[in-house]
Structures are given as structure tokens and as C-alpha cells.
Amino acid sequence: MTTPLDRRAVLSGVRRVVVKIGSGVLASHARGLNTRRIGLLARECAALAADGYQVVIVSSGAIASGLAPLGLKERPKSLPLKQAAAAVGQSRLMWAYERAFGRHGRLVAQVLLTGDDLAQRARFLNARHTLLTLLDLNVIPIINENDTVAVDEIKFGDNDTLASLVLGLIDARALAILSDVDGLYTQDPRRDPNATRLAEVARVTPEIERIAGGASAAEGTGGMASKVGAAKRVAAYGAATLILDGRRAGALTRALRGEPVGTLFFPRPERLNSRQHWIAHAVRVSGTLWLDPGAVHAVVNGKKSLLPSGITKVSGKFEAGDAVACVDARGHTVARGLVNYGAAEVARIQGLKTSEIEKRLGYKYYDEVIHRDNLAVVSDASDRSDQ
């Protein structure tokens, strides 16, 4: 059982926090931007910054705030129209933030990202250096997906996902998701009056994921399922996630102080480092390696490198240095990693001992198909239904 003391202990050391603000908090297609709400949130975040927190905001709302000026009555379905609405709305969104934070003597900076910016290591590090420099200069970054150029192949999917990746990007210790609900409930509280809020979640289990469901809000793209998915990624990094009602003044400050508001998702005790978190969640996989039970155990429980002897099947087109998914016999992803050999080479050496690689290929670059330093475990035994 967890206690309020545990909550305070987890949050007491937080000094760098990512605050994701959802579209339902900031705007609607009927009324456009809620500048009063932005003003209240800016005042709260500015106060946290004055109290020693480093705050990075991931803000939705660009598309929603661009609908009214374009005379659109509902969120567009076509990609070009979404991009046009984002182009119109993003400048309005940033101007609202700039005015709101300016009242409290705080500078803000616009940072627009696509999936490629985080999937490619050099661009990932460049974005990291830029954001950390802004924080050192006491500037509050306002991050959004670059909706005007992003297409399905390079989209994060939603800003909950983006926020969870930004946390690893800047090594923050907490993610606060401000939504139009005050946490995770046993059922949808809008439909079931008997639904109860879960104040704390020790671990994101399949049951918790089932409770989250998949419904999404009308103003945005991320429902509770995406928030819980973000919390799971953040927990793997060893950080906490809070889901809060962003319409309630002071909810963020109270939560960071350890008060029992919203839902707190606790960090996992064994955390991925920044590079592992990048491999696990930011890089796009180009192929799949099927592992035998011994290899699954070695990689997941033994934290060992992946050797060719444990590989039973190869699929996809990938070259050395690309990312692949490592799956068990049932197709459940247990790890992701950067390979030392291309797909054709791995297919030729699968099942072999390391001493046999050179004889089969005529050369040997490495003993390992994936070195443990380039492996990120994304599942443990308790996550897999076959265990």
C-alpha cells in the first residue's frame, strides 16, 4: 500500500518538470483560445519558476485556436486542413503565452518538434542542448509538435507522447498532464456516476491500461489511454507522472507539494538512462528479431547483450546502427536496440555461436548482434501474459 508520505517523498526532489497542457484546457472550436485560463496557468508556472522549479511546457491548442479564425465549425479531418489551422493557430497561441508570462517578467521561447527531431540522435542532442540552454537563461520553453509540416510518418501521435519524450530529452523528474479530468478513474466519470478516482498508481499494469480505455476528447487527439501510455514511458525513466484538472487553479502547485490531488503514477525503481529511454521510445524501428526463451531471459532479467545464438527469426529491412524490436515467441516486444549487423547478415548468423560468425560471414565485426549498452528493455516478466 502507498501512503501520502510516499507521494511527498517522490515529488520532494523534483526541480525540473514538464507540464503538458491539453487542448480541452486551453481552447475550444466554439470559443477559440481561453486567454483567461492561459493567464492563470502562466501565473502559476511563473510562481513555480520563482520558487526554483525549471518548467518546460508542452502545449496543445494550435489547431483548436485556428478553427474560429478560419470559420471552421469542427476539428478538420484532412491533414492539409489540420496543418492550415495549426499554422493560423500557432502564432495566436504563442502570442497569448508571451503576453501572459510577460506580465510576470518571464520570457518564453517557441520550440516546434517533429518525430524525426527526436528519432535521429544528432538532432535529439541538438534539441536537448537548446532546451537546457533556455532553462539556464531562465526562459520557459513552449513546445508543440510542428503540425504545419508533420505527416503521419513523423508525427508523435499526440502531445502526451511528445511530453513523455521531452521528459527524457531534458532529464526532468516529473511530468504533469493538465487535462479536463482530474485523474484516472475506475470508469469514465462522464458516463458512470459511481466511478472513483485512483489517487495513486504504483505501476501501469494491463488492468490499468484496460481501465484507461481509448476514448479521446473532442478538442484534441489524446484520451486517457495516451496519458497512461505516457505515464508508463515516464515511469520507465524513473520519473513520476501527475494527471490533473488543468481548469482548477493551483492544482499543479498543490500536486507538486505532495497534496493528494489528481492521480500520481509512481516511477519504476529500475530506471532507463537517457540513451536507453531514447532507444526504447523515440527511435523508429526498422525490423524485428524473434528471440528464444533463453535469450529473452538473458536480455530482460540478466541485462545481457543479444547474441546470434538466441535469435530464431528476422524480419524487416535494416542496416547496422538501425533500431529493431526484440520480441518473444508470442510476438510480445521485450526490448529495443541498435544492431551491429544488417538484416541479411543477422539472417545468416541467427542461431549460431559467436565463434561461428566469421566462418559464416567471412568476417566478424562484433560478437553481439546488439550490445547491452544499446539495448533498452521495455517489458519484464510480469508484463507478459505468457509468464
pLDDT one-digit tens code per residue, 69-105: 888 888 888 888 888 888 998 999 999 999 999 999 9
Are the C-beta atoms of 97 and 56 separated by less than 8 Å? no
CATH superfamily of 284-383: PUA domain (2.30.130.10)
Give the pLDDT of residue 82: 85
Give the pLDDT of residue 116: 84
Whole-model pTM?
0.84
- 24-51 burial, b if ≥16 CB within 10 A, otherwise e? bbbbbbeebbbbebbbbbbbbbbebbee
Give the pLDDT of residue 145: 86
CATH 3.40.1160.10 fits 4-272, yes or no: yes
Q: Packing angle between helix 35-50 and helix 79-102, nearest 10 degrees?
A: 50
Over residues 133-155, the pLDDT tens digits come to 999 999 999 999 886 665 554 35
Q: Where does CATH 2.30.130.10 sit in the chain? A: 284-383
What is the C-alpha to C-alpha distance for residues 209 and 187, in angstroms, rounded to an integer? 12
Does 385 have pLDDT greater than 80?
no
Give the pLDDT of residue 372: 94
- Compute the Cα dihedral for 300, 306, 312, 313 and give only its sign: positive
Are the C-beta atoms of 284 and 115 separated by less than 8 Å? yes
Does 2 have pLDDT greater than 70?
no
Instruction: Locate all alpha helices (DSSP H) within the chain, ordered by sequence.
Output: 4-12, 23-26, 35-50, 62-67, 79-102, 115-119, 121-136, 159-170, 206-212, 224-236, 251-256, 274-277, 293-300, 343-349, 357-361
Cell numbers describing residue 232: 508508463
Q: Where does CATH 3.40.1160.10 sit in the chain? A: 4-272
Over residues 192-250, the pLDDT tens digits come to 888 899 999 999 998 999 888 843 343 344 488 999 999 999 998 999 999 999 999 99
